[in-house]
A and B are shown apart, each in its own frame.
Chain A
Amino acid sequence: MALPLALALTSCEEVFDYHPYCVKVTGRTGINASNAAEIARITAGRRSFRFAFVSDTQRWYDETEAFVADVNRRADIDFVVHGGDLTDFGVNDEFIWQRDILEGLRVPYVAVIGNHDCLGTGRQTFSKVWGPLNYSFSAGDVRFICLNTNALEFNYSVPVPDMAFIKDEQTHFPDSCNRTIVVAHCMPYDDPFNDNLAEYYNYRILSLPGLMFHISGHVHSMEVRHPFDDDITYYTTTCVEDRAYMIFDITEDGYSYETVHY
């Protein structure tokens, strides 16, 4: 009787489980804010940097760990952006397991919320661990606008995507930046997106200074889309089950991207 008890008590920090949807966060919280500050610090004054874009790591813990190892192996990546769907069920422990793997990254990372992360109490756990669902940060002279676009999960109770937030970002655009990258879990006409707002969303982000491109996950495939026949390119990255991610190389006068398989 004592052996399994002793094992349970020593080998795991969370011995007792109250409920899968009990929001019980131990360890690091408010990750996006502190990591964004770190990203701003290491890229300050630069007009070129490289970041990795990974998404949809839900329930692929081994593949996520392999992704972390692959990024850590490289020396040319300044930071990582996660496109959401860290979890499948929105269950508390899924967030914690993912966080604990991603904390192994040697470079700072930020994450946006995915539609699966909104389920049950998931949006509350996400807010606690990573922070507000809409946020922005600067990397060199590029402003990253990170948005919750999972309208289907919010049943029109709150504005998703939050146009007022995007407009406010435009109004209060920092002087140190003159280019913009938009990050979201899903893009216009994906299932969780509010399609009625698709064109307005495109118009709104097009108004952001020097918009470079839009990146999202959700679709579990690598795609380059131009849904509105204009200059805005929407890139999607695949899920980690495919053991792949994207690297964006931001240069003084533009950018290039590549797909990495590991």
Chain B
Amino acid sequence: MRQYITKLLAVLLLLVPAKLSAQNDTVIFNHYDARVARYQQRYAAMIPKYVKLQFAGSIGMFSAGLGWDYGKNRRWETDVLIGFVPRLESNRAKLTFTARECFVPWDFPIGSSWVSFSPLRATAGINAIIGHEFWTSNPERYPEGYYFFSTKFHFIAGFGQQLNLNISYDRRRPWKSVSVYYNLTTNDKYVLSGFSNKEVGFFDVFHLDIGMKLQIL
């Protein structure tokens, strides 16, 4: 009987991914434990890695959200943000949602190893504004194809730079690292307006936004 159990355990261990048993350092007893471990690991990978805060950028006056960085040296970032558009001269304040991809190809240490500079960040994304006056495609009342664009959605794209501060392990309180960035961002509607018009200049089409990335994981 004892021999039988040993054999069974050996077989089970072979089935469990080597990486998993090495990482968790737990004794795997059966398929279920392995499944739970994989399941938790998969969901753990979905935990947002950072918080982002931004001012301006065609997605709201203030935006806040979460994101994930991944890929080689974690140079790719996917953000989901909620933006606040103030009332100002309109009827009411509005909320927007943004899904955005950022790419930060380089960072160079400056001075100490704790500070680095990223000379380029490139962003692209899509924004949706919430409100009855905005539509995705023409409401039924319009003749077919009346307006070629959506008033609810707009695409954003931008480029900028960022400064990164890595916090040493013993000094970390809430954050592992903090980055501050600026972008020059535009959107499809401004690009179309600027296109073939000398009257509409570069800084009519591109606008400044500033933000910060607070790294948790």
Contacts and interface: CB of A to CB of B under 8 A. Distances in A.
Interface of A: 1, 4-5, 7-9, 11-12, 14-25, 59-62, 64-65, 88-91, 93-94, 97, 101, 116, 119-121, 124-125, 128, 152, 155, 191
Contacts of B129: 19, 21
Given A8-B203, A128-B89, 19 more contacts: A1-B182, A8-B208, A9-B208, A11-B201, A12-B204, A16-B207, A16-B208, A18-B60, A19-B94, A21-B129, A22-B85, A22-B88, A23-B90, A24-B89, A89-B189, A91-B193, A121-B91, A124-B89, A125-B89
Given A61-B199, A97-B204, A17 B185 contact: yes
Contacts, number: 127
Interface string B183-213: 0110101101100111111011011110000
Interface residues of B, number: 51
A249 to B, nearest CB: 30
Interface string B35-55: 000000000000000000001
Interface of B: 55-61, 83, 85-86, 88-91, 94, 96, 117, 127, 129, 133-134, 141-143, 146-147, 149, 151, 154, 161, 163, 182, 184-185, 187, 189-190, 192-193, 196-201, 203-204, 206-209
Contact of A22 (B90, B154, B184, B185): B90
Contact of A21 (B85, B161, B207): B85
A60 B194 CA distance: 10
Given A89-B149, A97-B204, A120-B134, A17 B57 contact: yes
Contacts of B127: 19
Contacts of B60: 18-19
A94 B193 contact: yes
Given A22-B86, A152-B141, A11 B203 contact: yes
